[in-house]
Amino acid sequence: MTAAAISARNLRKVYPGSPDVVALADASIDIQDNEFFTLLGPSGCGKTTLLRMIAGFEHPTSGTLTMHGEDLTNLPPYKRPVNTVFQSYALFPHLTVAQNIGFGLEMLGKPKDEIKETVGEMMELVKMSQMADRQTGQISGGQQQRVALARALAPRPKVLLLDEPLSALDFKLRKDMQLELKRLQTETGITFIFVTHDQEEALTMSDRIAVMSAGTIRQIGGPRDIYDRPAERFVADFIGDTNFVPAQIAANTGNDAQVTLSSGKTVTAKMPEGTALTGKVTLAVRPEHASIGAEAAGLLPGRLSEIVYFGTDTHFHVALDDGTGFVVRSQNRPNETLAFSTGDRISVDFAPGVGQVLRD
């Protein structure tokens, strides 16, 4: 295997103060060529710091950063084959759309006709060909976004960094741009590193996601891994809705475990990688992975406390007998009559292997 496109080893960033602020705490990560890689987390989790370190705007307090095996750590931004799409776009207001897009190529000393050709291609790629001579102040937010993208892609960087580029767009435009970004990444074959706090954006676009919190990387995996197999409570809670079910490990068989629930029933659950947990644990169960049924049939008995209709699906809020709450989400079908109504004694059920044991 060739060296990773971007490889971070124990990257640490501390802003001195009283007390010191640890923006990034020994983060290690490998990002492969042609990947659409997302750094996901709440604000202040260190994702932007990590991105700015890759761009060269921030210097790590310790740790190393390599690109295809070459050390980047002390290279200034203008010597890194990495381009950034800024959150504010940062288009040059005194230059036209075409001049903005050609800026990187011009700085690289490319010949004039090559710049012209590439700028033309880029404007076509982002569907901005009609706007070449406009000033950047005369185009809409969505168009500015496209120009910022084209400008960063034009020098054909090895890695493209995107710092929450969709956050300033309205809902509809954001949806379109999500697909557009994915298309651009596939077409250009450039590694994209995308920073966002929006879990949906992360799930729909990414090949892999790194979930971050408090300066550390909590879990790295594909969207399905992250969603179906959260390794810890923070990840399960941050991405999607989750039911946390107290359980006791009865038998550990490596990847799987037999866990005993509060009702005394036992079910097979997945174990997080590389852990040997025993005793009391917490199980994460997604609302749409569970179902409700007759009181004696399921795993966790309780009372149906509320039914909320959402159009595409219905949420059943259940007050379990062990005192905790549980939400079951079920997709609606035409001409459906609900088998239960509020106040009924029922039970919650989920199949073996659905529950995920959390590390903490």
Q: Which two tokens stand for residue 149?
A: 């993208």
Is the Cβ of residue 9 or residue 110 nearer to another protein in the bound state? 110
Is the Cβ of residue 143 or residue 199 nearer to another protein in the bound state? 143
The residues, any chain, with a CB within 8 Å of residue 222's CB and separated by 6 or more, are 206, 207, 208, 209
Is the Cβ of residue 76 or residue 111 nearer to another protein in the bound state? 76
Is the Cβ of residue 79 or residue 127 nearer to another protein in the bound state? 79
Q: How far is the CB of 77 from another protein (least distance, A)?
A: 4
Q: How far is the CB of 59 from another protein (least distance, A)?
A: 12
Q: How far is the CB of 57 from another protein (least distance, A)?
A: 6
Is the Cβ of residue 56 or residue 230 nearer to another protein in the bound state? 56
Is the Cβ of residue 52 or residue 218 nearer to another protein in the bound state? 52
Q: How far is the CB of 90 from another protein (least distance, A)?
A: 4
The residues, any chain, with a CB within 8 Å of residue 180's CB and separated by 6 or more, are none
Nearest to 275 by CA among 211, 217, 208, 360: 360
- State how far Cα 303 lies from the chain centre: 35
Q: How far is the CB of 84 from another protein (least distance, A)?
A: 5
Strand 191-196 and strand 159-163: pairing?
parallel
* Interface positions with another protein (CB under 8 A): 55-57, 76-79, 82-84, 86, 88, 90-94, 103-104, 107-108, 151-152, 155
Q: How far is the CB of 220 from another protein (least distance, A)?
A: 26
Identify the DSSP state of 96: B
**Does residue 221 contact residue 266 with C-beta atoms inside 8 Å?**
no
Identify the DSSP state of 92: -
Nearest to 27 by CA among 214, 191, 192, 236: 214
Residue 132, amino acid: A
